Amino acid sequence: HISLCSKMVVALGIEGSANKVGVGIVVDGKVLANVRRTYVTPIGEGFQPRLTALHHRDNILLVVKLALEKASMTMADIDCVCFTKGPGMGAPLNVCAVVARTLALAWRKPLVAVNHCIGHIEMGRAVTGANNPTVLYVSGGNTQVIAYSAQRYRIFGETIDIAIGNCLDRFARLIQVSNDPSPGYNIEQLAKKGKKYAELPYTVKGMDVSFSGILTKLEQKLSQWLGSGEYTKEDLCFSLQETMFAMLVEITERAMAHCGSQEVLIVGGVGCNLRLQAMMHQMCEERNATLFATDESFCIDNGAMIAQAGYLMHKAGIATPIEDTWVTQRYRTDEVHVAWRD
């Protein structure tokens, strides 16, 4: 067992808002364990809440056990149990909340309910060393440009319809791309071979973006474009990425200009995409700014990010009473009082 001085805080975090169930253990901001299992559906299918919850239920106890083993700890060493309160899919979130409550009650540990988006931001800040960045949060369920001000993570711009990851997932289903390891990753690989750009709707409305029109046009034109040989699947993956990522770079740059920021941090599952990182890096270079990004172990949903945010909350004296440990599918980033920052 690790010898822990009295001041060190050991946080166990449980994440399960979508198709990944993860458990992480963090000691004073250092990740000791980050174990994850992913529910992968067949080609052409998305993941349904009920079946995703069953996957999490079948895997979560093993994932908790493996995380504790990896950190060489037992539940007696844990100072607080943190879990994702939302946003996310209701049934999978509930599985994780039940386990978190059970562990906390059985071992008499305080509970900390964490906002999923804030978990991504705080993990990104911890891993990269970014100080006060403009944050681009891009995932299957969220697309937001965020900046910190007066103990809130303020949303400067966001999608007005579907999230970017949802758009990528749905396009992957249209062209019958595998969900293993993820639809977005497989689209990224196909896009590298694309050579011809197809004109798609570029929809930026002030600080907000819209992706549903892009998907609608692809649905309408797909058979014609592929059937005639005018475009290949690779061309369409390339075109989809270039259009959507350019929109994101535009609104991120505008938020930077507004805030006088010289740092950009990309978080969320889509943040793993190297083409998005390259486009953002080019913009940052032109502004003499710095880009921060993480790899797939921290970009993609994981338990360590919930442990990290929970650790910061615990240190700030925040705990969640058992009667308030319900989960919610909607939980805005700017609803959270960020008591741990100045």
Measure the CA–CA gap between 116 and 153, rounded to whole angstroms: 13
> What percent of the chain is predicted at pLDDT more than 90?
97
Q: What pLDDT does 278 receive?
A: 98
Q: Identify the bridge partners of residue 205 per DSSP, sorted by sequence position.
A: 208
- Cβ(33)–Cβ(41) below 8 Å: no
Q: CA 26, 303, 141 angle in degrees (round to 5)?
A: 140
Q: What pLDDT does 55 receive?
A: 98
Residue 275 pLDDT exceeds 80: yes
Confidence tier at 96 by pLDDT (50, 70, 90) = very high
Confidence tier at 132 by pLDDT (50, 70, 90) = very high
Measure the CA–CA gap between 149 and 152, rounded to whole angstroms: 6
User: Which 8-state DSSP code applies to residue 218?
Assistant: H
What DSSP letter does each residue of 3-38 carry, written as one string? ---TT--EEEEEE-SSSEEEEEEEETTEEEEEEEEE
Confidence tier at 217 by pLDDT (50, 70, 90) = very high
Q: What pLDDT does 104 receive?
A: 98
Percent helix, strand, coil in the chain (nearest 5)?
45, 20, 35
- Taking only the tens place, the pLDDT of each residue in 101-111 is 999 999 999 99
From residue 17, alpha-carbon distances to 21, 60, 215, 255, 274 in Å are: 8, 13, 24, 28, 24
Count of H-run helices and E-run strands, the chain = 10, 12
Measure the CA–CA gap between 248 and 244, rounded to whole angstroms: 6
Measure the CA–CA gap between 188 and 275, rounded to whole angstroms: 8
- Taking only the tens place, the pLDDT of each residue in 278-300 is 999 999 999 999 999 999 999 99
Q: What pLDDT does 36 receive?
A: 98
Nearest to 241 by CA among 289, 309, 194: 194
Residue 240 pLDDT exceeds 70: yes
Measure the CA–CA gap between 75 and 271, rounded to whole angstroms: 33
Residues in contact with 160: Cβ distance below 8 Å, sequence separation at least 6, in sequence order: 205, 208, 209, 210
Q: Identify the bridge partners of residue 86 per DSSP, sorted by sequence position.
A: 115
Q: CA 293, 295, 301 angle in degrees (round to 5)?
A: 100
Q: What pLDDT does 1 receive?
A: 46
pLDDT mean over 90-107: 98
Q: What element of type H or E holds 80?
A: strand 80-86
- Cβ(119)–Cβ(88) below 8 Å: no
Peptide bond into 181 cis (omega under 30): yes
Averaged pLDDT of the chain: 97
Question: Hey, what amino acid is at 70?
Answer: K
Residues in contact with 245: Cβ distance below 8 Å, sequence separation at least 6, in sequence order: 273, 275, 276, 279
- Cβ(331)–Cβ(86) below 8 Å: yes
- Taking only the tens place, the pLDDT of each residue in 15-68 is 999 999 999 999 998 999 999 999 999 999 999 999 999 999 999 999 999 999
- Taking only the tens place, the pLDDT of each residue in 141-189 is 999 999 999 999 999 999 999 999 999 999 999 999 999 999 999 999 9
Q: What pLDDT does 5 receive?
A: 45
Q: What pLDDT does 4 receive?
A: 46
- DSSP, collapsed to helix, strand or coil, labels residue 126 as helix
From residue 91, alpha-carbon distances to 23, 139, 151, 295 in Å are: 18, 19, 31, 28
Could you tell me how many residues make up the chain?
342
